Every structure is written in C-alpha cells, then in structure tokens.
C-alpha cells in the first residue's frame, strides 16, 4: 500500500524528484572527493612543506565544500517541495473521498479516526518522503563510493570496513527492531488519549453533572501514563542508540590508527592516506547508520499508508448513478412517494422500517407522528439519500432518488434535521447556504416565518452575529429556528421538518406553521411531530409504529379509526390537563 501510494502521488512530482537525485548525486561526489584532497594536502603539502600546494588544494577543498553544501540544500529544498505536494494531494484525495461518504462509512471509520488519517497518517508518509529526499541517493552513494575510495587509498586496511560495517549494522539493527513495535504501540496509545479527551470534551457537562470528574481524570491519567511509558521505553532505546553508534565509530577509528600506524612505520603507507581512509570509513558508517534509522520510518509509514488506503479504497454505499436522469423539461413539483420501502441499518438484524407506502402530494402537508424510536428520522433520511432504502423505492416526481444526480436531488429538498447543524460563520452565512444570492429582504422574511426574527435582531450584529462551529453559541431552539429559516431561504419543492417544532411553545409553533403555509404554497411539506397540536390541520397524517404505517388520514378520520392515534392524543391531553 505504501508503495502504491508513493508511486501514485509522487508521479506528478517526477521533476522535483529528478532534481533531488541530481543534487544528491553531486553532493555525494563532492563529499567523496574531499578526503582524497585532504590526503594530498598532508602527503604532498605538509610532508614536503609546500605551502603553495596547501593553499591551492585547500582553496579547491573550500570550493568543493561550498558546492556540496549548495547541492545538499537544493536537494532538501526540492525534496521538501515534493513531500509537501504529496501531503497536499493525499489530504485532498481523502477529503474528496470522505465528502462522498454516507453516514454508513463515516460511522464505520469514526470521525476522529478520519481526522487522524488525514492529518497524522499523511504526515508520517510525508516525513518518510522528506527523509528519503535527504538520504535516498546519498546513503548508498556514500557507502558504496566510500568503500571504493577507501580501498583505492589502501587495500590492506580494507578488512576493517568488512568488520566494522556488520558490527554497526547488527548493533543498530538490534536497537531499531526493538523500537519499531514500540512506535506502533505508541500510535494506538496516542489514539486512546485522543479518544478519552474527545469523549470528555463532548460530554463535559454530563461529566460535571454526574460528578464523574475524578473517574474521568483517572481514566485520562491511565491513558496518558501509558503513552508516557511507551515513549520512555522508546526514548531509552534511543539514548542507547547513540552511545552504541559512537562506540563502534570510535573503536573503528582507533583500529584504523592502530593498524595504520604499523603500516606507516614500515613505510608502506603515508599519513594522509590513513587520514583519508579514516574519513571514508566514517562516511560509510554514518550512512549505514542513517539508512538503518530510516528503516524505522518505513514500517511506521506503511501502517499509516494502510490506514490512508483504507479510506481511499472505500466506495460510498450511496453511489451517484452512472446515468443520472434529469428532471429538466418538466416542472419539478416535489411530490414524494414511498413504495413498499423497507430499511435495516447495516449490521442490524431487524428492519427499522417495513412496507412504508405513501404519497406526499405537492401543495399539501403530510405529517408523520409516532413514538420515539418508531423510525421517523430514519424515514426522513431516506429522502435525501443519507441512506438508501434496503427494499422498495423512494421517488420524487416519479423518479427513483437513486437515479437522480445527488446535486439535483438535494437542490429539490430543504431538510431541517432533528439535530440541526450550523456552520461556523455568521447567521447570514448560514442562511445563504441554500441560496447564495438571496437578498437581505429574503433573509429577514425567512427569519420572520421561522419565528427567529426577534432574537436575531437582538443578537449583537444581527444577521452578522457570529455563529460558532455546530451553532453551539445559540440555544437548541434558536439553532432549530435558524435551520428552518435556512431551508426557507432555499425555497425547495420539498420541505422536510424532522421534529423541528417540538422545542417551540404551542403559540409560537402555531404562528410558525401559519406563516409557513403561506410561504410554501405549492410545495410539498413533510412534518414530523411529537405534538398532536402541531399536525391537527395537516392534509394527511401518517401514524408510524415500530417502522410501519399503522394508520393514515386526517385528524378527524384518525380519531374515529385509529386506536394508536387515539392513544397518542389521549396521553397528550392527559399531560396537558395535569399541568
């Protein structure tokens, strides 16, 4: 998966990567050349007292060093560009994919995980690319080139390379293999900390109200402790790594000097050659070490790539049709039909809806009443395809919703969900969601119908009063009324209000419905309600019980025919009398 992801998303960055390779190549060649020049200075310059030669060669060394620095900087610069571009593109791809997801897929991954995947996991892959951009060519070049150059300097001492490189590999390898599982453990433990913290933030009032603070604090403490523990263990290994590497490096240099000294003594080797050999050995060992450390990142990035791939590879279960039917040419009326609709939540055994069959006509109000859990919200969610019906069909103006283009479908529907969501911005920006070019007048009219005019006028800034993410800075009832206004501004053919009036007092509810009727003349209204008083004047009332329509008709008809309806009416009357 990691490989696939890299190939796919680095392809557009080919040029940058080519630049990285070229500059790294140049930088490595420069690094490899420097110790040889240094040897020349010692053997030909210092040994013979040739100051002129020292100055000249020293100047060349300086130039090459500058060149090497420039090339390294350029390689890292282009590498960083490529890595960031990859991050940007992968995040973009995840966003596009997630935007298509239906409720079902979001539930499967979980919102926090989707966020982690598009941030942290992308970052892991990005970091690997960045690291490779600095080491990909340099490490093999320096180790292989280093061996060649070292052997050219002195064949007799080469056995030192053959010993020290494997020793270093084994030492670093042992440490690294122990670190990888710790890093993995760390990812999952960080996830746990995030989850506990998130849960606590979302439920902070509940936590306070139930005096669970101590318990929650302890829970967080444990998760936090776990992360610290793992990080410490990884840190201890890290701390062990550097002295180990230094030990191997220093012992190797001592060995080079020790054995070199014998050869210098018997005249078969010059001091400069030995110094050069030493430098090459250090270069080789350093690149081997870097390469090994880079190896830590690969499994980490691979885990992340898998998590990203899982998102990118998931098709939304609510798929847009291949050949969408267009409604153009016919006037959309917004007539909604459900034909023998059945629905079961994925993984659930019992269906939540069965044999739901009705028509909500244009220009009429269709009300749905039923106890909590009878499936009203589920029924409503089938209309804009938040879920697809498991059996039967949902049609708008005679066309199955699955055959319509989603944009077109949503364009016809104004849905006010049971728990409406406001976007961060202002009252105005929220109202403009459905109709970006709505005039000031239209906005106020919608607010006035939704019985939201008064409180919006009182808010500081009026239409431009700030709304925080999710609409948490206004009350639940106010949020609901702004959401109603938002649907009204849009002026769709089909309005759906899921329990939108239950938070209003009876008088406001009545005013709202009366204003609504005038504003929406000709449109199809589907109103879900708990209160009988909200729906007495509906053209048709459907009584939903345990996912089935057990009765339908007008208020008067139902009073005569439906025992379930009478039960609801009586229980509400009893409640009102009790007040």
Ligand X SMILES: Nc1ncnc2c1ncn2[C@@H]1O[C@H](COP(=O)(O)OP(=O)(O)O)[C@@H](O)[C@H]1O
Question: Rounded to whole angstroms, how far apart are CA atoms 411 and 405?
Answer: 10
**Closer of 24 and 374 to ligand X (Cβ):** 374
From Mg ion, ligand X, none, which one binds at residue 375 (CB under 5 to 8 Å depending on kind)?
ligand X
**Footprint of Mg ion (CB under 5 A):** 376-377, 418
Residues near ligand X (CB under 6 A) are 345, 348, 352, 370, 372-378
Nearer to Mg ion, 20 or 538 (CB): 538
Tokens 């395809």 found at:
385
Looking at beta carbons only, is 420 or 434 nearer to ligand X?
Answer: 420
List phi, psi (to 5°) of 351.
-70, 145
In the complex, least distance from residue 418 CB atom to Mg ion, rounded to whole angstroms: 5
Q: For the CB of residue 104, give the shortest distance to ligand X in the complex, in Å.
A: 8
Question: What are the tokens at 565?
Answer: 């309806």
The residue among 387 and 444 lying less far from ligand X, judged by its C-beta, is 387
Distance CA 389, CA 545 (A): 18
Specify whether the CB–CB gap between 297 and 131 falls below 8 A. yes
Give min distance, CB of 372 to ligand X, in A.
Answer: 4
**What is the closest distance, in whole angstroms, from the C-beta atom of residue 506 to Mg ion in the complex?**
20
Quote the CA–CA distance of 527 and 531 in Å, as a whole number: 11
Which is nearer to ligand X, 40 or 545 (by Cβ)?
545
- Closest approach, Cβ 338 to ligand X, in A, equals 14
Distance CA 144, CA 514 (A): 84
How many other β-carbons are positioned within 10 Å of the β-carbon of residue 440? 9
Based on CB atoms, which residue is closest to ligand X, 369 or 456? 369
Q: What is the closest distance, in whole angstroms, from the C-beta atom of residue 379 to ligand X in the complex?
A: 7
58 membership: H or E segment, kind and range: helix 51-100
Angle at 548 between CA 547 and CA 551, to 5 degrees: 140
Please identify, using beta-carbon distances, which residue of 45 and 375 lies nearer to ligand X: 375
Q: Strands, DSSP E only, in 126-206?
A: none
> Hey, is 529 helix, strand or coil?
strand
Of 40 and 499, nearer to Mg ion (C-beta) is 499
d(CA 459, CA 462): 5
Tokens of 33: 């050349």
378 binds, among ligand X, Mg ion, none (CB under 5 to 8 A by kind): ligand X
| Sequence-distant (≥ 6) Cβ neighbours of residue 280 within 8 angstroms | 32, 35, 146, 147, 149, 150, 153
CB of 386 to ligand X, least distance (A): 10
| Torsion of the alpha carbons at 426, 431, 432 and 433, rounded to the nearest 10 | 100
Report the nearest approach of ligand X to the CB of residue 353 (Å).
Answer: 8
Compute the least distance from the CB of residue 112 to ligand X, in Å.
Answer: 17
What torsion do the CA atoms of 310, 312, 313, 315 make, to the nearest 10 degrees?
Answer: 120
Query: Least distance from C-beta 377 to Mg ion, angstroms?
Result: 3
CA separation for the pair 309, 306 (Å, rounded): 5
**Gap between the Cα atoms of 229 and 550, Å rounded:** 59
Q: Which is nearer to ligand X, 369 or 463 (CB)?
A: 369
SS3 at position 383: coil
What dihedral angle (degrees, nearest 10) is formed by the CA atoms of 299, 144, 65, 59?
A: 170
Q: Decide which of ligand X, Mg ion, none touches 373; Cβ closer than 5 to 8 Å per partner kind.
A: ligand X
The listed partner (ligand X, Mg ion, none) that binds 99, CB under 5 to 8 Å by sort, is: none
Kindly tell me the burial class for residue 51, based on how many C-beta atoms sit within 10 Å of its own C-beta (0-12, 13-18, 19 or more): exposed
Nearer to ligand X, 376 or 490 (CB): 376
């Amino acid at each position: 998966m990691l490989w696939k992801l890299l190939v796919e998303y680095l392809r557009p960055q080919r040029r940058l990567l080519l630049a990285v390779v070229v500059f790294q190549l140049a930088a490595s060649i420069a690094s490899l050349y420097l110790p040889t020049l240094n040897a020349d200075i010692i053997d030909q310059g210092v040994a013979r007292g040739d100051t002129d030669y020292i100055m000249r060669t020293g100047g060349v060394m300086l130039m090459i060093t500058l060149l090497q620095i420039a090339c390294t900087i350029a390689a890292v610069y282009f590498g960083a560009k490529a890595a960031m571009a990859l991050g940007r593109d992968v995040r973009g791809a995840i966003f596009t994919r997630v935007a298509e997801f239906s409720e079902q897929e979001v539930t499967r991954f979980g919102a926090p995980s989707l966020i982690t995947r598009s941030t942290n996991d992308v970052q892991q892959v990005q970091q690997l690319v960045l690291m490779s951009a600095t080491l990909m060519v340099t490490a093999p070049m320096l180790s292989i080139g280093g061996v060649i150059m070292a052997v050219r300097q002195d064949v007799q001492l080469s056995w030192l390379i053959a010993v020290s490189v494997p020793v270093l590999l084994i030492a670093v390898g042992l440490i690294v293999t122990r670190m990888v599982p710790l890093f993995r453990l760390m990812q999952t433990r960080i996830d746990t900390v995030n989850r506990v913290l998130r849960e606590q933030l979302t439920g902070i009032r509940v936590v306070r109200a139930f005096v669970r603070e101590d318990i929650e604090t302890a829970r967080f403490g444990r998760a936090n402790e776990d992360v610290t523990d793992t990080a410490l263990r990884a840190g201890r290994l890290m701390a062990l790594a550097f002295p180990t590497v230094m030990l191997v490096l220093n012992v190797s240099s001592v060995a080079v000097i020790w054995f070199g000294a014998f050869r210098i003594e018997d005249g078969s080797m010059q001091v400069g050659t030995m110094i050069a050999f030493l430098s090459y050995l250090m270069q080789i060992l350093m690149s081997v070490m870097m390469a090994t450390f880079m190896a830590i990142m690969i499994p980490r990035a691979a885990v992340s790539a898998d998590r990203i791939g899982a998102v990118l590879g998931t098709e939304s279960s609510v798929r847009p049709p291949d050949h969408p039917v267009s409604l153009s040419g016919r006037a959309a009326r917004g007539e909604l039909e459900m034909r023998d609709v059945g629905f079961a939540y994925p993984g659930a055994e019992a269906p939540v809806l069965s044999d739901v069959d009705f028509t909500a006509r244009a220009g009429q109000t269709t009300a749905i009443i039923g106890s909590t859990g009878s499936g009203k919200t589920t029924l409503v969610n089938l209309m804009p395809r938040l879920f697809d019906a498991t059996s039967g069909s949902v049609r708008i103006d005679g066309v199955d919703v699955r055959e319509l283009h989603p944009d077109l479908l949503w364009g016809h529907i104004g849905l006010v969900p049971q728990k409406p969501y406001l976007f961060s911005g202002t009252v105005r920006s929220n109202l403009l969601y459905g109709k970006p070019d709505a005039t000031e007048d239209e906005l106020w009219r919608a607010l006035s119908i939704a019985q939201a005019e008064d409180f919006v006028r009182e808010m500081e800034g009026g239409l431009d009063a700030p709304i925080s993410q999710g609409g948490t800075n206004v009350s639940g009832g106010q949020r609901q009324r702004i959401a109603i206004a938002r649907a009204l501004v849009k002026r769709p053919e089909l309005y759906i209000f899921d329990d939108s009036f239950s938070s209003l007092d009876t008088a406001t509810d009545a005013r709202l419905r009366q204003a609504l009727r005038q504003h929406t003349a000709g449109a199809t209204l589907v109103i879900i309600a708990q209160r009988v008083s909200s729906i007495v004047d509906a053209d048709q009332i459907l009584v939903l019980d345990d996912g089935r329509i057990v009765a339908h008709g007008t208020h008067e008809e139902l009073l005569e025919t439906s025992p379930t309806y009478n039960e609801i009416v009586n229980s509400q009357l009893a409640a009102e009398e009790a007040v």
